Structure 1
Amino acid sequence: MKRWVYLFSEGSKEQRDLLGGKGANLAEMTKLGLPVPTGFTVTTEACLHYLNNGNVLTDDMKDQVMASVMQLEEKTGKSFGDFKNPLLVSVRSGSKFSMPGMMDTVLNLGLNDETVESLVRNSENERFAYDCYRRLLQMFGDVVMGIDNSKFESRITQLKQSEGLNFDNELTANHWKRIVSEYKQLYRENLDRDFPQDPVEQLYLAIEAVFGSWNNNRAKTYRRLHDISDDLGTAVNIQEMVFGNFGETSGTGVVFSRNPSNGEPGLFGEYLINAQGEDVVAGVRTPKSIQVLAEDMPEQFEQLDTICKNLEKHYKDMQDVEFTIERGKLFILQTRSGKRTSKAQLAIILDLFKEGIIDEETLVQRIEAKDLEAALHPSFDVKALKNRVHFLSGLAASPGAAVGAAYFTAEAATEAKDRGERVILVREETSPEDIEGIAVAEAVVTSRGGMTSHAAVVARGMGICSVVGCEALTVVDGENRGTVGEETIEEGTILSVDGTAGKIYFGEIPMEEVANTVALDDLHEIWDRHATIKVRANAETPNDIETAMALGAVGIGLARTEHMFFEKTRLLQFRRLILADTLQERQEVLKELKEVQKQDFKFMYQAGAGKSENVRLLDPPLHEFLPKTTEECREVAKALGKTLNEVKRKSDNLSETNPMLGFRGLRLGVAYPEIYQMQGEAIIEAAYEVMAEQGFEIKPEIMIPFTIDATEFATVRHSIEEAVQKVMAEKQLPLDYQIGTMIEIPRACFVADEIAKHADFFSFGTNDLTQMVLGLSRDDSPRIVTQYLDAGIFQDDPFQVIDEAGVGAMIKIAIENGRKTNPNLKIGICGEAAAHPKSIEFLSTLPIDYISCSPFRIPQAKMKLAQVRVEETIK
């Protein structure tokens, strides 16, 4: 015969699937000898059988329930339905995973018109007995019989108003008798039947109600939001009632073994004297802080504190404990791992590790990406956010939260910042000209672009909150406003931007109060002991590099030199270069740019303090740097001493139909070798000067982008090396440098063995490689990707998670081919997709040396790399 019921004394914490989390923990605490009211659990399997077979309790189930009731009677010395010494029980739900408040509970079950009088005699407290009876009538009516709870509450409210009372605990025994009578009348009015007087019928109906609550709307919504399977079912826990409403020496409460908001050790919670459990959470009375219990009942407080500490050690986690004190005796009704904020989670697991409660491997495994992300970035107040509805959504390009006034140009944003305003920059898409506006903004919102668009990349690198690809947003060019359906965003409109969720709200949402800072140094030391693949940063400005080093980078994997020209005066210099008509004109510009670039590289080396730094030579998609409008062309012409027609003619000649596949990377080095030579000289001279000034040992890494052919690469490398060797000859000092390439074109993967003969390292550019392998423009992909995700064709956005079957296969081929001819070939992976947890699981199977990502994703990447290795060790 199938077993559907287990006594608490028969179960254990390992049986969460069968007994649910609550039942398993009650069984475990019973085994530990803690003061747990005795009881039994009807299993999750019984629930699923009930739900899948016509919502009927089988005879076997009923027989096993009643057999367990008899054992309960034997242990307690009470009898179910007895007129002299009645056994009363609670009936509570309990699924495998905690779902607080989502399913149903019934207390004081077993009371009826006769047993309530027995309770009066035995307790010598008529008020207490009838308070218990009205609670049963109310909860049973709501949970089991489906009567709207407000109908019950309204009767109590009317009575208090008529008697001039404010609180439930001011009502007398006669008041509760009157309420009981009115509640029974509610049953007749709403159900055309009386409240069931048979305790056994009450029990069966309550079990069925709890089983049925597995499929109520709030439970289904909770499971969907927390990714909990619908196929688990809930157990039902039937437990002897203990009473916190037995007078002034009784009470009930909920306590956490540590503060769930900030992680600080010590009891944190609330309790009520002379109350039952639901009173604490119902808000009908104001609870006291658990610390006051130390004064009201010092013996019980000490006992509770000791139990919580022991439960933490036993479960190896912070605990959320429900307790009741009945006439001075403490009972533990439930324990579970406590819900906590992300900041608290990091503090708690580090403290548990330092206290020896968990080991290092457990610490590594318990940290989640969302907790790290939330701890490193500002976020909105959770309670305030629940009451708000977003009006616009897009791709969550850069995490965090921000509030500010909307401005639609970099100039307007900068002026507003100078006036002391907080700014949200709203654009159709950003370009290098917007860099000053981005730098002063709290957040960046665009209507176009994907996760690798200019706005997304720059915002992530600077740690600025950003939402991109908001397709419902139309930015009206030149009118300084945007529209979303019938809504209009005027200049100065206050917006709240959630870059973690990709949502935007009208008005100001309060920010979460900043709690403790994350102990990243401690975590980095632990992660580095386990991970074999290193993490570098995509960064080129001193500020970004310093941020990256503070967040745990071992070096720079990608310094994009074209990003060094985003500032307005730099942009003008770069435009002079690309608009030059003659070699002489270019060389004049390059002479100035060399000094500018050398200072850039010196700042980089100083910020990196001797750590590896990989500098990618110019890879400028021309559409990002050419003047677009007539007004821009006029400004450039004036600054360069050219005519408007000359600038427009040159810009038109350089304009490309598809700039992402145009005159990029080393194609620039082939056509204009003097440009890459200038950069090579600047990189090496900067290294010599910083070594002399700071004493750092610097090993420059020079990366040539967009390679498709071995001869092509060798030609450009030779040109650069001529310039490098010239500087070294002048200095007469040896310098260990490397020249390698970024692999971002499919052909390069297939001829990697030939390219590797001339290259010291490969760095895979996942953004460009993805768009070429899949034939998807990285800037125009969001709509297509969304459709493919909705249709189930894609499981993940390939610009956020490496496409293993296509892009991943290319990377494997290139590594294998490259290492055949150059066994010492250093391998790195760049691009934001490399830092995604799913990508890291794949990349961890490859013989690579490092991945490189934006600074604020470094901790998450290091965490996941360590977790992968720990899991491999455990297996």
Structure 2
Amino acid sequence: MTYVYAFEEGNKDLKDLLGGKGANLAEMTNLGLPVPPGFTITTEACRAYLHDKRFPDGLADEIEARLIALEERIGRRLGDAADPLLVSVRSGAKFSMPGMMETVLNVGLNDESVEGLAAHGGARFAWDSYRRLIQMFGATVCEVPAGYFGDALDKAKHQKGTRNDLDLDADDLRALVGVYKKIFEEHTGRRFPQDPREQLNLAIRAVFDSWNADRAALYRRQERIPADLGTAVNVVAMVFGNLGPDSGTGVAFTRDPGTGAQGVYGDYLANAQGEDVVAGIRNTVPLQDLESIDKASYDQLLGIMATLEDHYRDLCDIEFTIERGKLWMLQTRVGKRTAAAAFTIAAQLVDEGVIDLDEAIRRVSGAQLGQLMFPRFDLSGTHRELTRAVGASPGAAVGTVVFDAARAIELAGQGESVILVRRETNPDDLGGMIAAQGILTSRGGKTSHAAVVARGMGKTCVCGADELEIERGAFTVRGTRVAEGDTISIDGTTGRVYLGEVPVEPSSVVRYFEGAPVSEDPLVRAVDRLMRHADSRRSLRVRSNADTGADAARARRFGAEGIGLCRTEHMFLGDRRELVEKLILAEGQPAREAALAALLPLQRADFVELFRAMDGLPVTVRLIDPPLHEFLPSLTDLAVRVAVAGERGEDVGREKELLTAVQRMHEQNPMLGLRGVRLGLVVPGLFAMQVRAIAEAAVEVARAGGSARPEIMVPLVGAVQELETVRAEAEKILTEVIGDSGVRVVIGTMIEVPRAALTAGQIAEAAEFFSFGTNDLTQMGWGFSRDDVEGAFFWRYLELGIFGISPFESLDRDGVGRLVRIASEEGRAARPGLKLGVCGEHGGDPDSVHFFHEVGLDYVSCSPFRVPIARLEAGRAAVART
């Protein structure tokens, strides 16, 4: 097996083997672009190393051979005292994970070679490079807390009377290297390694190990990246942007990653290395300024940007360095972008003839569409603007100010909305960034760590607010002090920061879905165009879960093609709870009939409202399916009330009767007890009342000129005999009520008990449709409550990788999905043409929608807000590449 490849031996299609960075470095090399020479150690080597905790056999020899070839090509040797070759060691997984894994620059420097580097590049440059190596190597390879190096640098600048590291001269940096060495030795118990080969091997091991670092694992869970891929390692000859004012480093985008607008976008920082830009430790200048700084390099860069966008047929994210007037390309990838940019760019590329509409909807996602539906600030009133900076990731975020990631996680766990405020973020802040509603930094630009990670997660972010003076527990801006716990509002589109809470209003995309005409807004036009194409391509219909006429009407405006789940138990809450309580606890037929008679007109009116809102579209009504405890008083609370009232000498006759009844019907686990079809069979007349209400409402709507298409769904069926019993009673009522009205009512069942899925062939004999209740099917299939997913054991399972994502959020294809597939196949075998749908929360989950398309379901149903997301994903599933 070959573990190491020169750049010339790879290409962009080898991301599984070479990682994204290595594959794209190879592609740029083969395109003839100016890429520093180097080689890539494969993901296979990483996986073998992580499994055995050592380099696989042959890897060390391959690295040595490739390094010798690199030295011969460049004409310098690693760590040579007179004219050293230095290399960078960078991670590069298949999927971009910005800042989550390790990088070490300037590998090969030691006490001798720093003098040789100084002879060729100048003393200040050489000692600056050496202090960077010790800092990065110490923190990355040897786990020296990075803050110690940062504090030493800040102290050196303070002693110099400056806030800019560029003001430190060669003597200052030489002294700083000495301080760094002492820090390294104090924390590791050894001197900083002087052997360049040892530095290289340890750096490679550190990059491999970083694949399993906590922040990398957290990022993978957030982005649903498989945990078993491993990372490649890229060893690249160093080129230097910190050689003086004629050198520098930057990041460029071929289009604006925030809006999708065409033009020149990016950041440039003179006399700097790449981590200075990403970390945001100094504020950059716009990329356009490079034209006046170094026009030849700027013109060459624009040409390369056009070449790469044409080659990749997409927005490209490019990292580059200029070394004394010579341009070098360090990385390219298909760039991360905001949701707005994703839709806008996809539509632009269709207009330019670069891609077709099928490819356009492959390049956007339901998750991105969901981000576009979030509200934005309503600035019609008076609001105090604190500052304005770089709008790095769009959105409107309001929350209390916190200054560290741990505090953000703590308060968010208590249900509070927070804004994480930092000078600059680093990969260790990831947990806090995930927990926060938005991120505000005083340093950095659109290509800083905060900006790149926030865009990838769809988080609101404002960067480079350099007016902020951040101190411990507060920041000051324009004379106003804002402390932890105060509320601010940040606008990631405009970069504005406001004191206090700014109200929000619906986004332009929501207004479009609500029926507003397509405006001249490029984003709305792009969404409209891609949604129309997705609708034209999808075979999976999309319905909505709705329990009221208002919800049904909104769902229809959002494009719902019917109601897939009306939960009738939701209609019995509030002031109707007492009527249901009387029905359940009634001991004689007269009391029961009185309660049913009171409920019937209320239910009929509910259904009339729904049928009118969905005129001409199917409405699936699930007969009542509550765990009984949702409608009965708490046994414990009731017992306490009786005891306390008795001690006071109060009349407790009614309470005692109620307590006796509740004790009689009490269940240890109500979620697995008397609910669904069981309740309908045990409480005479309950289902019959609901069926009558449905039929009478449908007839009323039909006779008024409307079109009602009711579908009665019997819940929690586990045996065909249950369904047959309910169906026989229902059909008698339907025959009596419907008469010659022309209304047709179909009867089916909800497949939510594993036994129902495994006996679907039998159940299909009595059912005209199946609707999969994937919430309960997941709960019963896994054997844990969906109400307990926030518990400690559940999160431990996520940490251990047993779950990549909650099975209540995205369908467990291997287990629960197999039950769905079995029931679909056996149900249709028994009843050809059996209609199949899904009405659990998974109906609006993008990944799950693709699975339901593959299985061949007829429709999914989800909450009204997620209907557009499901429509888009159903279209994407239809055009997905196999």
- Paired position in structure 2 for 1:95: 92
Structure 2 runs not aligned, ≥5 long:
221-225, 376-396, 419-436, 438-484, 489-499, 511-523, 643-650
In structure 2, which of residues 822, 836, 840 is the aligned counterpart of residue 831 of structure 1? 840
Is 2:703 aligned against 1:703?
A: no
1:274-326 deviations in Å (ceiling 9; x for gaps): 44434434555332233444565566555544533442332344332222345
| Structure 2: distance between partners of 1:193 and 1:767 | 56
| Structure 2: distance between partners of 1:351 and 1:315 | 15
* Secondary structure in structure 1 of the residue aligned to 2:571: helix
Compute the displacement of 1:701 (Å). Answer: 1.5
- Paired position in structure 2 for 1:43: 41
Is 2:388 aligned against 1:388?
A: no
| Structure 2: distance between partners of 1:219 and 1:756 | 48
What residue identity is the alignment partner of 2:27? E
Residue pair 2:71, 2:85 contacting (<8 A) in 1 also: no
- Paired position in structure 2 for 1:241: 239
* Secondary structure in structure 1 of the residue aligned to 2:253: strand
1:80-125 deviations in Å (ceiling 9; x for gaps): 99999x68654242423445443233349689476456536xxxxx
Compute the displacement of 1:614 (Å). Answer: 0.7
In structure 2, which of residues 765, 771, 774 is the aligned counterpart of residue 763 of structure 1? 771
Compute the displacement of 1:253 (Å). Answer: 1.8
Compute the displacement of 1:582 (Å). Answer: 5.7
- Paired position in structure 1 for 2:657: 649
- Paired position in structure 2 for 1:332: 329
Compared CA separation, residues 797 and 21, structure 1 to 2 (3 A) = closer
| Structure 1: distance between partners of 2:826 and 2:59 | 65
Compared CA separation, residues 522 and 644, structure 1 to 2 (3 A) = farther
Is 2:601 aligned against 1:616?
A: no
- Paired position in structure 2 for 1:449: none
Residue pair 1:168, 1:284 contacting (<8 A) in 2 also: no
Report the more deviating stretch, 141-150 or 619-628.
141-150
What residue identity is the alignment partner of 1:653? A
* Secondary structure in structure 1 of the residue aligned to 2:665: coil
- Paired position in structure 2 for 1:603: 609
Report the more deviating stretch, 178-187 or 598-607.
178-187
Residue pair 2:211, 2:230 contacting (<8 A) in 1 also: no
Residue pair 1:107, 1:241 contacting (<8 A) in 2 also: no
Report the more deviating stretch, 807-816 or 93-102.
807-816
Compute the displacement of 1:213 (Å). Answer: 2.5
Residue pair 1:152, 1:183 contacting (<8 A) in 2 also: no
Compute the displacement of 1:559 (Å). Answer: 0.7
- Paired position in structure 2 for 1:68: 70
Residue pair 2:248, 2:269 contacting (<8 A) in 1 also: yes
- Paired position in structure 2 for 1:318: 315
Compute the displacement of 1:64 (Å). Answer: 3.9
1:634-674 deviations in Å (ceiling 9; x for gaps): 9xxxxxxxx97357526633642335566544566557765
In structure 2, which of residues 198, 214, 218 is the aligned counterpart of residue 221 of structure 1? 214
| Structure 2: distance between partners of 1:238 and 1:792 | 33
Is 2:120 aligned against 1:119?
A: yes
| Structure 1: distance between partners of 2:204 and 2:544 | 52
What residue identity is the alignment partner of 2:832? P
What residue identity is the alignment partner of 1:103? E
Compared CA separation, residues 687 and 780, structure 1 to 2 (3 A) = same
1:187-220 deviations in Å (ceiling 9; x for gaps): 69977999999xxx64x45533431331566973
Residue pair 2:211, 2:231 contacting (<8 A) in 1 also: no
What residue identity is the alignment partner of 1:599? A
What residue identity is the alignment partner of 1:682? A
In structure 2, which of residues 858, 867, 871 is the aligned counterpart of residue 849 of structure 1? 858
Compute the displacement of 1:738 (Å). Answer: 1.9
Mark the structure with the bigger radius of gyration: 1
Compared CA separation, residues 135 and 356, structure 1 to 2 (3 A) = farther
Compared CA separation, residues 688 and 293, structure 1 to 2 (3 A) = farther
* Secondary structure in structure 2 of the residue aligned to 1:563: helix
What residue identity is the alignment partner of 1:704? V
Compared CA separation, residues 338 and 563, structure 1 to 2 (3 A) = same
TM-score by length of 2: 0.67
* Secondary structure in structure 1 of the residue aligned to 2:709: coil
What residue identity is the alignment partner of 1:70? E
| Structure 2: distance between partners of 1:772 and 1:842 | 20
Compute the displacement of 1:564 (Å). Answer: 0.7
| Structure 2: distance between partners of 1:783 and 1:868 | 34
Is 2:135 aligned against 1:142?
A: yes
1:445-460 to 2 correspondences below 5 Å = none
Compute the displacement of 1:241 (Å). Answer: 2.4
1:654-803 to 2 correspondences below 5 Å = 655-658=664-667, 659-660=670-671, 664-666=675-677, 675-690=686-701, 697-707=707-717, 713=723, 716-729=726-739, 733-744=741-752, 756-767=764-775, 786=794
- Paired position in structure 1 for 2:541: 534
- Paired position in structure 2 for 1:257: 254
TM-score by length of 1: 0.68
Compared CA separation, residues 335 and 771, structure 1 to 2 (3 A) = closer
- Paired position in structure 2 for 1:501: none
Compared CA separation, residues 799 and 644, structure 1 to 2 (3 A) = farther
* Secondary structure in structure 2 of the residue aligned to 1:610: coil
* Secondary structure in structure 1 of the residue aligned to 2:832: coil
* Secondary structure in structure 2 of the residue aligned to 1:697: coil
Compared CA separation, residues 737 and 299, structure 1 to 2 (3 A) = farther
What residue identity is the alignment partner of 1:737? V
| Structure 2: distance between partners of 1:283 and 1:777 | 44
What residue identity is the alignment partner of 1:593? L
What residue identity is the alignment partner of 2:67? V
In structure 1, which of residues 536, 541, 545 is the aligned counterpart of residue 552 of structure 2? 545
What residue identity is the alignment partner of 2:712? I
- Paired position in structure 2 for 1:556: 563
Compute the displacement of 1:374 (Å). Answer: 5.3
* Secondary structure in structure 2 of the residue aligned to 1:12: coil
Compute the displacement of 1:179 (Å). Answer: 3.6
1:43-442 to 2 correspondences below 5 Å = 43-44=41-42, 52-53=54-55, 61-73=63-75, 89-97=86-94, 98-101=96-99, 102-107=101-106, 112=113, 115=116, 118-119=119-120, 129-143=122-136, 160-171=157-168, 175-177=169-171, 179-180=173-174, 183=177, 202=196, 204-215=197-208, 220-227=213-220, 232=230, 234-239=232-237, 241-243=239-241, 245-247=243-245, 249-261=246-258, 263-281=260-278, 283-293=280-290, 300-301=297-298, 303-326=300-323, 330-340=327-337, 345=342, 352=349, 355-365=352-362, 371=368, 386-388=405-407, 390-391=409-410, 403=417
Compute the displacement of 1:810 (Å). Answer: 6.3
Residue pair 1:11, 1:28 contacting (<8 A) in 2 also: yes
| Structure 2: distance between partners of 1:554 and 1:3 | 53
Compared CA separation, residues 44 and 585, structure 1 to 2 (3 A) = closer
| Structure 1: distance between partners of 2:163 and 2:818 | 71
Compared CA separation, residues 117 and 853, structure 1 to 2 (3 A) = closer
Residue pair 1:155, 1:179 contacting (<8 A) in 2 also: no
What residue identity is the alignment partner of 2:24? N
Structure 1 runs not aligned, ≥5 long:
121-128, 405-442, 444-492, 497-507, 635-642
Residue pair 1:91, 1:206 contacting (<8 A) in 2 also: no
Compute the displacement of 1:616 (Å). Answer: 2.0
Alpha-carbon RMSD across the aligned residues, in angstroms, is: 5.3
Residue pair 1:380, 1:512 contacting (<8 A) in 2 also: no
What residue identity is the alignment partner of 2:694? I
What residue identity is the alignment partner of 1:557? G
Residue pair 2:114, 2:130 contacting (<8 A) in 1 also: no
